[in-house]
Structure 1
Amino acid sequence: MSRELLILRHAKSDWGTGAASDFARPLSERGRKDAPRLGKWMRKHHLKPEHVVSSPAVRATETATAVSRALEFRVKDITFDERIYLAGLTTLLEVIASCPTEASRVMLVGHNPGLDELVEYLVQGELPLSDAGKLMTTCALARIELSDNWATLPRGSGKLLSLTRPRELP
């Protein structure tokens, strides 16, 4: 069975809120606009996931919630996994391995640098960078096709279908 992994970096966060910690940092005004815009674009392109797993950090939670609402994915069905916050490649692969086997499309909402590492691991070859030379900019969505099950994702096992950034949306 072909599978699709949607890797979503949280939307732009607000560094000037005086949040008590990095974990508590919320979305900025731009982030609060970009997340639902991306979700509407995903709905238009029939990219609704069957399973959503997100970091519980405030900015990731707000992103996952806004995108899910726009996709008409039930917010109460989002799985919040503490392992995603500050996760590296190995931990992110473990999170993906724990996704339901029956789900053919999963969306993972998290943070850099872990998401950059994950995309670079799964997809061989040159990847499309932003004008600023970045891969997973805030609120970027990488669509990766996988043939393996969630538990076995060897290096280079994915095919990048698209990488969408908010600035590229109509």
Structure 2
Amino acid sequence: MKRLYLLRHAKSSWKDFTLSDFDRPLNKRGKRDAPLMAQKLKEMGIRPDIIISSPAKRARKTAKIFAKTLHAALETEEKLYEAHTSDIKEVIQTAFEKYDAVMIVGHNPGLTMFNDEISDIPIFNIPTTGVVGIGFQNDDTSLDKGSQLFFEYPRKYAPHAG
């Protein structure tokens, strides 16, 4: 079975309005939630073969935290910044040619829209540092329809968060 993990970057800072959207860093909550969620996935036995991240600063930082915790290789992909669902699908299909378990770190609305297109359970909004696991039977790389394996997010573990 091919496994896909969609991870929305951790909460970013809007403190410095001179920064471009691309260069926004994680805020305090993001720096707290990313290690929490990475650890939760580790406890669940999640082990992506590769993590592919948007090159935006907040996504890269989130991806680095997950890669370190989950002992996964990390790459960046330009197509994942401001990605449409077709861009996300293309990146995943290419990765599935080489890997069985792929994590994508990106942004909304693209990630949520992509989940709702391919998963058997729509979510309508993946919150920051939210992760959706999707399984595909028979190593299906067409990404037509997968089965949601889990949907994890920080408020599930720290209701006061965010």
Letter in 2 for 1:136: I
Structure 1 unaligned segments of length 5 or more: list them. 129-133
The answer to whether the 8 Å contact 2:96/2:141 transfers is no
Partner SS for 2:95: coil
What does residue 71 of structure 1 align with? 70
What does residue 143 of structure 2 align with? 153
The answer to whether the 8 Å contact 1:92/1:118 transfers is yes
What does residue 131 of structure 2 align with? 141
What does residue 44 of structure 1 align with? 43
What does residue 94 of structure 1 align with? 90
Partner SS for 1:78: strand
Deviation at 1:142, TM superposition (A): 0.2
Runs of 4 or more, structure 1, over 3 Å off, are: 148-151
The answer to whether the 8 Å contact 1:13/1:26 transfers is yes
Tell me the C-alpha RMSD between the 2 structures: 1.7
Deviation at 1:27, TM superposition (A): 0.5
Larger fraction in helix: 2
**For residues 135 and 100 of structure 1, what CA distance do their matches in structure 2 show?**
25
The answer to whether the 8 Å contact 2:7/2:131 transfers is yes
Number of aligned residue pairs: give it.
158
Identity over the aligned pairs, expressed in percent? 32
TM-score if structure 1 supplies the norm length? 0.86
